Amino acid sequence: DRDGHIDACEWEEAIESALANKLEQRAAKREQQAKAAAKEIEEFTGEFLSAARRCFELIDKDGGGTLSTEEIVKAVREDKDVIKFLKTCGEENLQFLLVPARLKKSLDYLDTDGSGELDIDEWEAAINRGLAKRLEQMAEERSRRERAAAKA
């Protein structure tokens, strides 16, 4: 009422207005963070699946559409791109392909149809498990960053 004094009603109105503004700002920030996270997930997923396809193609030297033990052994010894992808793919059994002592056991696990080779479906099933694990790790890291920022 511009009388130079703040009465209880004016005080409550100011507090409610400030609180509403603060809640609106927080909601907008959460929405922005959710959009950024969705974009990060979408970009990472596309890049990861592209790298996985490329890795399969790099290993499949004869172009037969399956990965033989010989092709895998040769790739994990010689191909830096294959080695890099397998190290970071997030799927334990694909990572074990890099360990000679675990190679046979990993292949047996990944080769769900028992053909002695990995076909694209078996490869993609393993890749999707790895992708899920990597996305979970990203979500945990994002949550950690948000908690740290909230404390600051």
pLDDT digits (tens, 9 = 90+) for 25-67: 999 998 998 999 999 999 999 988 988 888 999 999 899 999 9
- Find, among 140, 139, 132, the residue nearest to 49 by Cα: 132
pLDDT at residue 123 tops 80: yes
The Cα 14–Cα 51 span in angstroms is 55
The Cα 118–Cα 104 span in angstroms is 12
Q: What is the pLDDT of residue 22?
A: 95
Q: What is the pLDDT of residue 101?
A: 85
C-alpha torsion angle, residues 141, 142, 148, 150 (rounded to 10): -160
DSSP 62: T
What is the model's pTM? 0.72
Mean pLDDT of 99-121: 90
